[in-house]
Amino acid sequence: MSFFAKMRAERLIADIKSSSDADATRARKALEKLGRLGPSAIPRIIDALATADKKETAGLVRVLGAALDNKSFPLVAAGLVDGNPRTVAAVTWALSTSRDYSPQLLYGLLSDPQMPKAQVVSILAAQKSRLAARELLKHAYNQEPAEKAALFRIVAEIGDASLLPELLSRLEGKDPIARTHIINILARFNRPEVAEALHKQLRDNNKFIRQAVLNALSRFEGHADVGLLCEVLRDPDVETQQKAIEAVVRANHPDTMQHLVEVLRDEDEGARRAAVEVLNEIGTPRHVKFLLQSIKDDDWWVRSRAADALAKIGGPRVIEAALELIRDKDEDVRRAAIEILNQTRDARAVDHLVAATRDSDWWVRERAVDALAEIGSQRALPALLDLLDSADERSLPSVV
C-alpha cells in the first residue's frame, strides 16, 4: 500500500467514525471513496474494525466485501487471525456474504494452523451453496472432531444421490468418527444398496458404528435383514442391544421368530432377555408356541433358561400366550407354558391352572398345583381338596 493511499484510507475512516447521524451523507460519501481505493484499503479497514461501533462495522464490512476477490482474499482472510473478537467477527461476516471469490480458497484456511477453525467452518456453512460435497468430504477427514462433525453436517446438507458411490467407498475406512458421520449421511438414502452396505457394518467392533447403523436403518422401510438384526440382540453393549430390539420390533419381519429362537437359546442372560423383549412387542400365541416347539428337543437346561426368561421378562403378550398354550395338544408345549405361569404368579391364570390339575400329563398336573400354591388364591381350594382323594400318590405332597 502506497504512503498516499494509506494516508487517504486513514483519513476516510476517521471521517466515517467522526460522523454522527446528522452527518449520514458525509459518512456514506466517505465509505464510497474508501471503496474506490479497492484492495489497498483492506489492511486499514481491518485495523479500524477493532474499535468500530455496530453501524460503522456494517459500513466497513460492505466495503470489505466489495473489495473481495481471489487476489484480495489473503488480505481479508488475514483478519481472521487478529486477536480482537470484533475484527474476527466482522471479517467472518464479510467472507460469509461475498460471492466474488472462489470458495476453493477457503479449503486452504482449514489447513492453516493459525486460522480459527470455528470461524472458517462458519464461513463454509454460509457458502455451502457454492461448495462441492465431494471436495468438502476430502477436507473433512483432516479436521479435529468438532470441525469434522460440522463439515460432515454441511456435506449431508449439500450432498445428493450422486455422492453415494463416494460415501459407500469410504464406509470401510479406518477413521471410526468419519465412518459414523458417513453412516448418518447414508441414512438419508433409503436404497437397497445402501441398506446392504449398512447391514455389513453391524458386525463392526466399534459400538458407535453399530449404533449409528441401527439408527440409520430405523429410517428405512422394507430393507431389513432380520437375521443380522437378531444377531445384534446378543450385543454386549446394553445401548446397542436396546437399539437392536427397537429395530427388530420396527421391522416386524415374518421370519423374525426363526432367528429369535437362536437368541432364546443363548447362554447369555442378556441375549435371552432381549429376545423376550421383542416377543413382548410383536409376539402372539402362535409365535410363542413356535419358539417352545423349537426348543423342546434341546437339553433340559436350554429349555429351563428359555422358560425362565419368558416368565421373568414376559409381558402381557407372553402371559396371554401361555394361558392359551396351557391347553395345547402338544404335551411339551403345555409343560413349557405351565413353567412360565409357575413363575409369573398372575392371578388371571387361576382358572386355567385349576383346569390343568386335571391334565392327562402328571407333570402338568403337579406343576399346576405348584403354580396355584404360589398364587395363593382361595378359588383353588375346591380343586385341591378333590385332588387329595384322586391324585397320584407322588402328587399328594405337592397337593398338601
Element containing residue 53 per DSSP (H, E): none
Task: Give the pLDDT of residue 332.
Answer: 84
pTM: 0.78
Query: Can you tell me the distance from the alpha carbon of 109 to that of 163, in angstroms, rounded to the nearest whole number?
Result: 24
**Res 22: pLDDT:** 38
Sequential DSSP letters for 294-332 = HHTTS-HHHHHHHHHHHHHH--HHHHHHHHHHTT-S-HH
Q: What's the rounded Cα separation, in Å, for the pair 357 and 373?
A: 12
Q: What is the pLDDT of residue 244?
A: 95
What pLDDT is recorded for position 240?
A: 96
**pLDDT at position 184:** 95
**pLDDT score, position 303:** 78
The pLDDT, as a whole number, for residue 21 is 54
If phi over 0 gives left and psi between -120 and 50 gives alpha, with beta otherwise, what is residue 252? left
- Which amino acid is residue 274, in one-letter code? A
CA-CA-CA-CA dihedral for 51, 57, 61, 64, to nearest 10: -40
Per DSSP (E only), the strands in the chain are: none
User: Position of cell 381338596?
Assistant: 385
How much is the pLDDT for 27? 66
The string of DSSP codes covering 251-270 is H--TTHHHHHHHHHT-S-HH
Cβ atoms of residues 170 and 182 within 8 Å: yes
Cα 233 from Cα 248, distance rounded (Å)? 9
> Other C-beta atoms within 10 Å of 152: how many?
23
400 residues of the chain, pLDDT tens digit each: 455 556 666 677 766 666 655 346 666 776 777 767 777 778 888 888 888 888 878 888 888 888 899 999 999 999 999 878 999 999 999 999 999 999 999 999 998 999 999 999 999 999 999 999 999 999 999 999 999 999 999 999 999 999 999 999 999 889 999 999 999 999 999 999 999 999 999 999 999 999 999 999 988 887 789 999 999 999 999 999 999 999 999 998 999 999 999 998 899 999 999 999 998 898 888 888 888 888 877 787 887 788 788 877 778 888 888 888 888 888 888 888 888 887 777 788 888 888 888 888 888 888 888 888 888 888 888 888 888 877 667 777 878 8
pLDDT at 289: 85
Amino acid (one-letter) located at 98: S
